[in-house]
Amino acid sequence: MSLTETEIQAKAALQKSLRESEDLIHFEPRVYGDWRDEFHENGCVVIKNVISREKAKYYCDKQIEWLHKFDLGFDENDESTWAAEHLPVNFKGGMYYAYAAPHEKMAWEARMEPAVFEIFEKLWETKELISSFDGLNVSLPRRKDLAGTPWPHCDQNPARKGMQAVQGLLNFAPNGPKDGGLVLMKGSAKLFNEYFAQDREPYAHEDAPPPELRYQDLFLFNPRDLKWFEERGCELVKINMEPGDFVLWDSRTIHYAELPQGDQIRHVQYICMTPRRFATKEALELKKECFNSWLGTTHWPHCNIRPSAEKPMRNGKVCPKYRTEPFEKPELTDRLLQLAGIEDPLNLPMWQKFVILAIISIFSTIGLTLVSGFGGLLGFYIPEYSAAGKDYNAITKLMTYPTLFMGIGNLIGMPLAIGVGRRVVFLGSTVVLVIGAALCAAAKTYEWQLACRMVIGLAAGQSESVVPMVSQEIFFLHERSTAITVQLAVQTILSCVLTLFASPIAGAITPQWWYGLGAILSGLQFILTFFFLPETKYERPLSSYQEASSTEDSTPENAEGASVKQEVPVYTSRPPLDYANYEQRTWRSDLRLWVGTPDWAGTWIQTGELLLFPNVIWALLINGVTLGTNVAIGTTYSAIVTGAPYNWPNNSASYANIGQIVTAVVALPLLGQGSDWLIKRMAKRNGGLHEPEVRLIPLIIPIIVGTFTVVLYGQGAAHPEKYHWFLYVWTIAAYYFAFVGANITAVTYLLDSYPARAGPLLVIVCAFRGFISFGTSYGTAPFIASYGYDGTFGTFEPLPVSSPLSQQYSSS
């Protein structure tokens, strides 16, 4: 993306309104015992040995290398080439702001030097910093084509009060009295307000900004005005430095640069950082556009973000070497993105990612417990509803219909999550859970409770779609399966505990108050969601998913006509992201209900297209049949364990779910961390190329376990006198492992296959599998009445096996 001149003028005009009239920060008088004492006294300080001499030499070499890349004949060893025609267009004899210089890798490396960051962190007393996109300086001595004059100025508009910006300069080469460089008026920052207490006109210097930009943070002084400051004790000092030194000065300090007259080339990088809380929304929006366009800015990180978009002119024409991208792009690390003011859910701190996982897991736990945990409460309702004329098949609809409405809820919630945002769906669904649970608690009839449970199903459905969507949005590909597994493990353990004690809780406080407890927990969940779940929606260009463009010929031919395997480039840095749409992440911005513009049509079009893909249909089928079988087990186990020969009391029936804790703690990590380990190992063997089909290998285990388990459950239920009650504890846990294994494998496989279509994929898998599972489990009771438990669950046995066969067929 590039900014037009009209856009730049409009954006710059907007900045007029951003001038501050009060202090942004107040420093209490105190003794620091370090360089800050000198800084606050004089408005400037030199900090020695911030980086090593070896590292400083590295930056000198990189700057010279950068000049060579323009191929203009410059030679650092030939003084005859130290002239404008052999150099990129620059300002004041060596300042480079054009040609995307502020975003060269070397510039960002200098900004991110740990000791440099620590200086600004110590100064502002915060780690939450953003950086300006300043240029670099390579000033060649004794240039015959330059005749510079002093231009004393300060880089803060007189309308701003207090210390609002502090500039820095990281020095790379020896800089003595004759080597040019920074000249500072010590103590002038303290006199800033006094001097500008009366109206002052800026000096009409040759470098003065045009009238339309007079509001920017630059005030040029008449050299005669310096006497006013000297009379009040200020001193004009040329700053001398060694390689690796860093000079820091208050932007209210009068300063200018001298041209070098000795033998040493001057090498520096300008660096300025301020607390990101200083920035307004408008300034951050413009800052992101600058970053996305590789444009420089002023010295100010948080305001006066005037893009340096003017094209460098040479002899009245645009320089033929003009470029809009760095020669060497920076690695997009977390620290860089923080300093650039870029918001991306992938760059959330790890602690916040786990907070998000915890919140969405609690949401899933409450919703699924209200739906599935009801299986342990059926014994409380069977006598009452049987007396009202409802048969067992009708009563089991209290379990099966909510699963259908979970799918319908996905059809409503997922397009809303894709089009508007995930946060608003979570908040809305939590409110629906509160209302649905409260209505169930007040239900007086079978029909009322059935209707209210279907309402709960609408909200609980988001646990199967929006929850994994958020999980995959905040973790990178090689972390994704582990993250989803951690989320499922937490959800499973919590759900199992609540389901396990559903019967005794209902027996102790009545089934009505069991629903009431669900409503109360949902209300607390709403509060947690509102304050701690940010919006994770983030639109990325396709280039974000693959750094190198692929071609249709994956196996080109060599000169002899033989096929040659293409080498896959291996990247260790993150690909470029889309930075133009989202403001800097703050706690306040995390409270927004949505970001961006809703896109409804695109969601449904992509969903329809993906329904035509054979591997998507396969993932849908295996999820649907395993979920349906799991629901069938959940609706029947209570009647089995409370009947002869086991005769468990109704308030103990839910204890049969205890094995799911073992599933969460032991078995699920095998599918999550094991899958992530496998894809990294296979990608390493494959020259850095990740093939999504590798995700399918771990599916073998849950398919085998599920096939064996469903037959065993049918035999045990048909002949309970021959089997111990532990069989049902085992089969409930084991088949849950099969279902979750199919879910993790299929979802991560599809997300890896079509990363730009995560939302529509989850609509298909999570919504339509609800319909398939309903079709699988809806007629369970009459099926059992006609063919027995062994015949019914024997029918379920081949379904998961046939799904992988269909996938193999479609792949072939």
**Quick one: average pLDDT of 101-124?**
95
Predicted confidence band of residue 339 (pLDDT cuts 50, 70, 90): confident
Instruction: Tell me if residue 19 falls in helix, strand or coil.
Output: coil
3-state DSSP assignment of residue 139: strand
Joined together, the tokens standing for residue 193 give 């307000």
pLDDT in tens, 612-627: 888 888 888 888 888 8
**CA separation for the pair 434, 529 (Å, rounded):** 14
The token pair that represents 339 in the structure block: 């300093």
Question: What pLDDT, on the 0 to 100 scale, is given for residue 527?
Answer: 95
Q: 399-403, 418-422, 560-564 — which is least confidently predicted? A: 560-564
Average pLDDT over residues 32-61: 95
pLDDT > 70 fraction of the chain, expressed in percent and rounded: 84
pLDDT over 90 at 724, yes or no: yes
- Helix (H) or strand (E) holding 796, with range, is helix 780-796
> Picking from 167-176, 212-221, 411-420, 623-632, which range would have the lowest pLDDT averaged per residue?
212-221
Cα–Cα nearest to 612, from 464, 468, 744, 760: 760
**Whole-angstrom Cα distance, residue 338 to residue 323?**
26
Residue 583 vs residue 632, higher pLDDT? 632
The amino acid that residue 283 corresponds to is A
Q: Is residue 497 predicted with pLDDT exceeding 50? A: yes
Residue partners of 580: CB distance under 8 A and separation at least 6: 1, 288, 289, 292
How many whole angstroms separate alpha carbon 679 and alpha carbon 43?
55
Question: Is the confidence at residue 531, as pLDDT, over 50?
Answer: yes
Coil, helix or strand at residue 162: coil
Angstrom distance (rounded) from CA 710 to CA 85: 81
What pairing do the DSSP bridges indicate for beta strands 95-96 and 317-318? unpaired
**What DSSP character marks residue 212?**
G
Residue 524 in this model has a pLDDT that exceeds 80: yes
- Position 22 confidence tier, pLDDT thresholds 50, 70, 90: low
Q: Which residue has tokens 């790890």?
A: 350
Q: CA–CA separation, 321 vs 86, rounded Å?
A: 11
Tell me the CA end-to-end span of the chain in Å, nearest whole number.
41
Per CATH, the homologous superfamily of domain 5-343 is: q2cbj1_9rhob like domain (2.60.120.620)
Neighbours of 678 (CB within 10 A): 15
Least confident of 6-10, 503-507, 719-723: 6-10
Tokens coding 253: 């300090």
In three-state form (DSSP H/G/I as H, E/B as E, the rest C), the secondary structure along 60-111 is: HHHHHHHHHCCCCCCCCCCHHHCCHHHCCCCECCCEECCCCHHHCHHHHHHH
Instruction: Give the residue, 195 or 28, on which the prediction is more confident.
Output: 195
pLDDT > 90 in the chain, percent: 37
| Predicted confidence band of residue 486 (pLDDT cuts 50, 70, 90) | confident
Q: What is the pLDDT of residue 11?
A: 45
How does DSSP classify residue 714? H
Could you give the CA distance from residue 769 to residue 352 in angstroms, rounded to a whole number? 31
583 DSSP assignment: P
Query: Is the omega angle on the peptide bond into residue 511 within 30 degrees of 0, that is, cis?
Result: no
Q: Does pLDDT of 291 surpass 60?
A: yes
**Residues forming a β-bridge with 258:** 181
In DSSP terms, which residues pair with 45 in a beta bridge?
Answer: 248
Alpha carbons 634 and 630: distance in angstroms, whole number? 6
Q: What is the DSSP string of 172-188?
A: -S-B-TTS-EEEEEETG
Name which CATH class applies to 347-535+604-811: mainly alpha
Six token digits for residue 256: 């200018």
Q: Is 34 helix (H, G, I), strand (E, B) or coil?
A: coil
| pLDDT given for residue 286 in this prediction | 80
- Residue with token string 């020896």: 174
- Contact between residue 629 and residue 735 where contact means Cβ atoms under 8 Å apart: yes
Secondary structure of residue 256 in the 3-state scheme: strand
Burial class (CB in 10 A: 0-12, 13-18, 19+), 218: buried
> What does the alpha-carbon distance between residue 131 and residue 341 come to, in Å, rounded to a whole number?
8
Residues of the chain with CATH 2.60.120.620: 5-343
What is the rounded distance in angstroms from the CA atom of residue 208 to the CA atom of residue 137? 20
Looking at residue 43, its amino acid is: G
- The packing angle between helices 502-509 and 477-500, to 10°, is 40
Give phi and psi for 28, each to the nearest 5.
Answer: -70, 140
Q: Average per-residue pLDDT in the chain? A: 82
Confidence grade of residue 555 (pLDDT, cut at 50, 70, 90): very low
255 forms beta bridges with 153, 184
Check residue 561 and give its pLDDT: 43
Which pair of structure tokens corresponds to residue 430?
């939590």
Reference 247, options 339, 154, 183, 155; nearest CA is: 183
- Scanning 646-768, the segments in alpha helix (DSSP H) are 659-662, 668-685, 700-718, 726-753, 758-762
Least confident interval from 381-385, 418-422, 566-570: 566-570
**Distance, CA of 302 to CA of 280 (rounded, Å):** 7
Residues 713-734 have a mean pLDDT of 93
Other C-beta atoms lying within 10 Å of the C-beta of residue 65: 12
pLDDT digits (tens, 9 = 90+) for 733-775: 999 888 888 888 888 888 888 877 877 887 777 777 777 877 7
Choose the most confident range, by mean pLDDT, from 25-34, 368-377, 698-707.
Answer: 698-707
- CB contact at 8 A, 270 and 168: yes
* Per-residue pLDDT tens over the stretch 149-172: 788 999 888 888 888 899 999 999
DSSP string, 533-582: ---------GGGG-SSPP-S-SS-B-TTS-B-PPPPPP--SPPP---SS-
